[in-house]
Chains A and B, each alone.
Chain A
Amino acid sequence: MIRKYIALLRMKYIEMLAYRLATFVWMTGAITQPLITMFVWMNIHPEESDSFVFYFMAVIFVERMTSAWDVWELDREIREGTFSNWLLRPLHPIHWAIAENIIYKWLFAVILVPVWVVAATFWPALRPHMTASQIMLFLMAVVLGAALRFLLSYSCGLLAFWMTKVAAVYGVIDVISLFLSGRIAPLGLLPPQLREWSEWLPFRYMISFPIEIATGAADGGELARGFAIAAGWMMALIGALQWLWKAGMRKNQAVGG
């Protein structure tokens, strides 16, 4: 399995190099929205500018590390029928998607981490103050967040076996996550009801939770509870994905035959 994965990763890496310009463009796009929001908050609470700078830089970083685009790929491939090609290969198609995700996130990390280091030397607000255990927990939370986002995106993509407008459905989910994952505002600044919702829904654990660990906003019992809820959602999403996959295969064969 490990050998297969190494081969997969190598293939995806070569594929990615062919689209360097596009990758750069998507990166720029991903940066502007958090930056605009950052300026808004710095304007509202000028005395906390430094913490907003750190928060929104972390949003850009964590967002890139966890983002998944599988729903659009699946939507297109299932609709156009090219998805069947994947089924003929000896490995479950999800492994190709996982390999692609790993490679892209690795690339983003390779670009963003040095940028962060350089920026932090000039801009003290960007220097993280984290203990070793905090760093470990942060990395764990990022991996968990990436898994959650990937599972959600892939499960939604599988809905394309039954529906024609899956991308639109995912668009709605994405908008909800815009508010509840902490991209529009640090969750502490949301109205209380929204904040309560964000605790129980999976979106907080995709972006905000790792950042809360990095800034020290979440610790102790809060932390344990957060990991427990996120793990629960992960189990639920794995279950949903497996069920959707089986049902989708049946549906697919019915159409094909």
Chain B
Amino acid sequence: MRRYGRVFREFFRACLVEEMEYRSEFFGNFIASFFGIAIALLTVHIFFYQTDRLGGWTYGEVLVLLGVFNTLRGFIDFALRPNMPRLLEHVRRGTLDYILTKPVDSMFYVSFRHLVFWRLIDVALGIGVIGFGLYVERYVPSAADVCMFLIVMAASLLLIYSLWMMLMTTSFWVVRIDDLSFIFDSFFDTARFPGSMYRGAVRLVITYILPAVLITNTPALALLGKWRIPTALAALAAAILFLWLARRFWRFALRFYTGAGG
């Protein structure tokens, strides 16, 4: 475990050096992120121009949810998204062999080798929106709330990582990866709003099959003091289950890869 921490730090440093070469881009990226969150806030505002509840959630609560969504998306764009096209390239060119001979776990390597730092702005902005939402709601989270929030947030990150990893692994068979991440984005977009807002089959799918709602709603509720122990345990269990599945799928794909290469 300690070794993986060290390796991750090394990835971090290498990418930071790389990114410092393009410092002038930073400002443009900052504006873009800021613009994105402003649009999201404006959208929520337009909805609340007509109502004071969305799926039973108040304005402030929806803002907290939006903040959680933005934070999680920031993490995806920071660590996972930049690695996807590279894995594809490795599979296509056969250079995955080099990664497999390295003394670190291949799944760890392919998912964290390349990091895009300016995307952490989205994480910061997300946390800002969470704070703003709590202020609108006039709610100060207790220590237990924050603790629970951190636990379910960790579960959400694990879940997203697993889902994303499974998607990435399909690059052994599918060639056009931007299409795949596009599909992920459109499904993840449903997690922007309270799950209780959806109806019928859509609700079933995004609650149980692709747990988009679980990913954002549970952390937001935890921070608002509306957590329940069973829900948190369910989130953790789902995260571990999905991680296991992702791991199995990666192993399976590797077997396929060596089969093709040999």
Contacts and interface: CB of A to CB of B under 8 A. Distances in A.
Contacts of B182: 25-26, 29
A45 B39 contact: no
A32 B43 CA distance: 16
Interface in A164-185: 165, 168, 172, 175, 178-179, 184-185
Nearest to B36: A175
A189 B50 contact: yes
Nearest to B176: A22
A84 interface: no
B199 interface: yes
The dominant DSSP class at the B interface is helix
Give chain B's interface residue range (CB within 8 Å of chain A). 20 to 34
Contact of A179 (B42, B50, B54, B198): B42
Interface residues of A, number: 29
A21 B179 contact: yes
A112 interface: no
A250 B43 CA distance: 42
B70 to A, nearest CB: 16
A180 B43 CA distance: 12
A36 B198 CA distance: 8
Contact of B183 (A28, A39, A42, A175): A28
B202 interface: yes
B193 A40 contact: yes
Given A25-B179, A185-B46, A32 B186 contact: yes
A54 to B, nearest CB: 16
B39 A40 contact: no
A43 interface: yes
Interface of B: 28, 32, 35, 39, 42-43, 46-47, 49-51, 54-55, 176, 179, 182-183, 185-187, 189-190, 192-193, 197-199, 202
Given A43-B54, A168-B28, 12 more contacts: A22-B179, A28-B186, A29-B186, A32-B189, A36-B189, A40-B54, A44-B54, A45-B51, A179-B46, A184-B43, A185-B46, A189-B46
